Amino acid sequence: MPEPLVYQITNAVSAQLQADCVALLGGSSIMTRALQEAEESAAACDALLINTGTPPENALELYRSAARAASAHNAPMVLDAVGCGFSKYRSAVIRTLLEEFRFSVIKGNEAEIGALCGAKTAPRGVSCGGAVENAAALAAACAEKYRCAAYCTGKYDHLSDGRRNFRVGGGSPLLHATSGTGCALGSATALFCAYMPPLDASHRALSLFRRASETAARAEGPYSFRVKFLDALAKLGRAEKRAR
């Protein structure tokens, strides 16, 4: 297929990193947050990512407009529930979206997925703030509740579609110490959803990020790690593409 176009309504803090990851993995991005062109952009995309990391004032209206158009054109949709459980406003926006639309993938850290499933967990800002008990069960419960693939990230990543469950480990602790990589993971998932089933797309993104972080693990610190990680991600992505 031609280069997939991913519409990312996303975290302004990490937008550049997300665009870089999509480009390095063979896709292209559009990142408009203008309500006036959300419907048109979503209708033209091959996948939609909604990341709630820095919601604008018209967040729900913007997200709804894009999700309606993407749904109408059968484009897969990924919801990165950043900060779910941190504030009442953000949590309400996320739950409203999940009531009105069926997403292909829901992702978050352990606390965010726990908040979605009634585990009374709450992130510290956009960070988990510590391990959450029964993370694998929370991912499975989220997948079953919302009829999608769901995964939560942490020391181990737990992925489920309500029937099949996976745990992904390995990599480097620097992956979680580098701001924006979690959001970039959501963008990579959306890209892969453009041409793979949601569970397979999620597993590929999780595994690829872990492997790239392991390759980059000898970096001197988080910022040099970021460069080495992106180089490794591009190399591994090209190798996988040739192998398919």
Q: Pick out the residues of the known binding site for substrate.
A: 31, 180
Q: State the residue for tokens 């990851």.
A: 21
Angle at 165 between CA 162 and CA 21, to 5 degrees: 100
Strand extents, DSSP E, the chain: 5-9, 28-30, 47-51, 77-80, 105-109, 149-153, 157-160, 165-168
Give the residue numbers of the binding site for ATP. 107, 153
**Residues 6 or more apart in contact with residue 119 via CB below 8 angstroms:** 132, 134, 138
The phi and psi torsions of 201 (rounded to 5 degrees) equal -60, -45
Q: Tell me the binding residues.
A: 31, 107, 153, 180
Q: Which residues pair with 50 in a beta bridge?
A: 9, 79
CB 47 within 8 A of CB 75: yes
